[in-house]
Amino acid sequence: MKLIHTISETRNQVLRARLRGWKIGLVPTMGALHDGHMSLVRRAKAECEFVVVSIFVNPTQFGPGEDFDKYPRTLVEDVEKCRISDVDVVFTPSASEMYPEGFNSWVEVKGYLTETLEGEFRPGHFRGVTTVCAKLFNIVQPTCAYFGQKDYQQLKVVQKMVNDLSMPLEIVPCEIVREPDGLAMSSRNSYLSPEERKAAVVLSRALSKARAAVTEGERNAAAVQEIAEGVIRLEPLASIDYVALRDAETLQPIDRIRKPAVLLLAVRIGKTRLIDNAFIPTN
């Protein structure tokens, strides 16, 4: 496994693999790797002969007052996890390698998909995400890039960018990995105090209860949302940013569940903002 900090050396390494006709897999991350990230790596390893994991806490996707400075950085442990998983290249650029002096080009998906939900609560967030992903795709030129459904809206935004700009790669969505009690794994879970950690299970519990209601025949979107909200409101440490049942493709609001939908949550547990979601099939 090679640990590389520069764009040029990453390009050199990937070029050698590409000349051998190998499939190239890219797993973009911000580090503090947990088993959610590693499930993406395992999928990439299963499908590609050469796997690159990028570790970059991307400053342009954090707004003012967000947690860029305190975001967990555990590079030594991350590199060890990648080595054990037989990753070929870990690409950990500095901010100045990715955004040198004078950098002034942005890739932005416009419209509802980036204005709603996370886009509303975190203005500019998706512009940072799409710009860094476009850059990583250009550097690595992967056959496939692996994204978690944990960040469902991000996955849809990146898929849209790739389709709109005819980028020559496949985006592979991967299942959400959860702790035994249901909490979706997240690097931000490390911010939670023991008491908050217990309270945080309310997100997945709300999703399960809402999904169970749909399984039992509930089709009214407001009613399904209300079930999830009711569960979260019972937890004193939780405050809701949004609970939204949306069309699974467009993320537009729906009145009734007729097509595949997704229930998306953003909830603050104390000062920590967590997101989670559940796919709601029609049958």
Q: Which of 92, 153, 186, 272 lies at the binding interface for ligand AMP (CB under 6 A)?
A: 186
CB of 28 vs ligand AMP, minimal distance in Å: 6
Indicate the residue whose CB is closest to ligand AMP.
148
Least distance (Å) between residue 226 CB and ligand AMP? 26
Nearest by Cα to 83 from 40, 49, 38: 38
Question: In the structure encoding, which two tokens stand for residue 188, read together?
Answer: 């931000």
**Out of 24, 40, 257, 267, the residue judged to bind ligand AMP by CB under 6 A:** 40
Q: Is 34 a catalytic residue?
A: no
| Spatial distance between the Cα atoms of 62 and 65, rounded to a whole number of angstroms | 8
Q: For residue 148, what is the DSSP state?
A: E
The Cα 270–Cα 235 span in angstroms is 11
Q: Residue from 187, 225, 272, 277 that binds ligand AMP (CB under 6 A)?
A: 187
Binding ligand AMP (rule: CB under 6 A), the pick from 60, 147, 238, 269 is: 147
Closest CA to 125 of 114, 140, 112, 135: 114
What is the distance between the alpha carbons of residues 221 and 227, in angstroms, rounded to a whole number? Answer: 10
Largest interatomic CA distance in the chain = 57
What token pair was written down for 159? 């898929």
One-letter amino acid for residue 92 of the chain: T
Nearer to ligand AMP, 130 or 227 (CB): 130
Of 4, 25, 26, 36, which lies in the binding site for ligand AMP, with binding defined by CB under 6 A?
Answer: 36
Indicate whether 30 belongs to the interface with ligand AMP (CB under 6 A): yes
Q: Which two tokens stand for residue 78?
A: 């991350």
Of 7 and 185, which has the nearer Cβ to ligand AMP?
A: 185
Q: Which of 5, 34, 37, 125 is catalytic?
A: 37
Question: Interface with ligand AMP includes 81 (CB under 6 A)?
Answer: no
Check binding of 29 to ligand AMP (CB under 6 A). Answer: yes
Q: Which stretch binds ligand AMP (CB under 6 A): 32-40, 66-74, 163-171, 200-208?
A: 32-40
Shortest reach from residue 22's CB to ligand AMP, in Å: 22
Q: Least distance to ligand AMP from the beta carbon of 269, Å?
A: 16
Beta pairing, strands 272-280 & 261-269: antiparallel
DSSP for residue 271: T
Confirm if 63 and 123 have CB atoms less than 8 A apart.
yes
Q: Please give the single-letter amino acid code of residue 60.
A: T
Q: Which amino acid is at 185?
A: M
Tokens encoding 215: 């399984």
Tell whether residue 148 is a contact of ligand AMP (CB under 6 A).
yes
| 37 near ligand AMP (CB under 6 A) | yes
User: Which of residues 14, 44, 133, 177 is near ligand AMP by CB under 6 A?
Assistant: 177
Residue 82 as a binder of ligand AMP (CB under 6 A): the answer is no
How many Cβ atoms sit within 10 Å of the Cβ of residue 14? 23
Q: So which residues are the catalytic ones?
A: 37
Residue ranges that bind ligand AMP, judged by CB under 6 A: 29-30, 36-37, 39-40, 147-148, 150-151, 174, 176-177, 184-187
